[in-house]
Structure 1
């Protein structure tokens, strides 16, 4: 039952947040998006290595 409540809250938040973001005037330029995107893959690699170490140490 808790899972259904959690899903309901997440979907409600989604239906509230998405229209607010679409109405906001804040826009990200292509240069800024590219600047952020170049950090995604290295950070994902670091996350995977950290999770592997955590798994190997029995965490």
Structure 2
């Protein structure tokens, strides 16, 4: 993550957590969930298709 800007991942992760009050990993998970919810609302894809698009291993 920090290779392009030459900063340590632990430093960036700590900085992110101090600003957002959640871990970077949890932020990514939340973003994926919100995107999956949007896809469900528009009803263009089945749950299996959405799970596949979001790189989840199963619909569950």
TM-score by length of 2: 0.35
| Bigger relative CO (Cα 8 Å, ≥ 6 apart) | 2
Task: Please identify the structure whose Cα radius of gyration is greater.
Answer: 1
Q: Which protein has the bigger helix share?
A: 1
TM-score by length of 1: 0.36
